[in-house]
Amino acid sequence: MTTMLIDVGNTRVKWVKWDGAAFFGSRAAMRGESSAAALRVLAGDLTPEVRRITVANVAGAEIAQALRALARANSAATIRFITSEHEACGVRNAYDEPWRLGIDRWAALIGGFRRTQANAPGAATCVIGAGTAVTFDVVRASGEHLGGMIMPSADLAAHVLAQRTSDIGEVDVHMPRPGDGLALLGRDTRSAVVYGTWLAVGAGIGRALQAVRDSVGSACSVYLTGGGAHSLRQWLDVEAEIQENLVFEGMLALSGMGEGR
């Protein structure tokens, strides 16, 4: 039986298939101002062998309704929307109102926790999600979620600067890190914005990780996931392992469908 896992984010819809042993057919589509185009691409992958659909959705009720209609129209699959809970898969949610923790963060945290306990038992887990926003969550080896942070991505910060100032304008922040020291000082407006926005994110994460390591009293496995993971990693002064399927691994675990590894 083939399962399709769908992660609906603020900017993209991402999906992958699971055959009971491995992921395959990973794809993504930009949502833009309307989700219709992304859902048309997804519909082409809803082939007859897909009998189960699991969704993590942070984009609201309208797209959830569209996905239900798509499932009815394009396959004989059942569809399930997973949600954040007080406790699942050995992890206890730090939020007093657990449903307010984004399901993508919850799934990624569970995916990361399970990876750490399989590969480095006794270590804490830190999951950094690099999307429209950058998220940072930590869970102890015991499964206690300590909480997290949400900060603007470099893209989002640069866009806000363009919107709230008169002379900067829109800036494409996709530039490599120039080096360290004084190389981080831009010599034109674009590089000043790029270096400033990326450095703010990287430094914030570095400060938070140092606080975690000073407090948890154990080693900490650090995972990066999301569309901006590769770009963000070069701005971090700490080692971080990119795991592109971390949300999907957590979704599988939450659905009771295997390790997702």
- Dihedral (CA of 181, 185, 187, 188) sign: positive
The two structure tokens encoding residue 245: 């399927």
Instruction: Report residue 159 as tokens.
Output: 């866009």
d(Cα 139, Cα 108) in Å, to the nearest integer? Answer: 11
At residue 75, φ and ψ (nearest 5 deg) are -160, 170
Return all residues near 73 (Cβ < 8 A) that are at least 6 apart: none
Gap between the Cα atoms of 158 and 164, Å rounded: 10
Give bridge partners of residue 53 from the DSSP assignment: 4, 79
Residue 20 near residue 30, CB atoms below 8 Å: no
Of 7, 19, 104, 180, which is the active-site residue?
Answer: 104
Active-site residue, 104 included: yes
Across-strand partners of 18?
3, 23
- At 42, which helix (H) or strand (E)? helix 36-43
Taking the C-alpha atoms of residue 185 and residue 207, their distance in angstroms, rounded to an integer, is 20
Residues annotated as catalytic are: 104
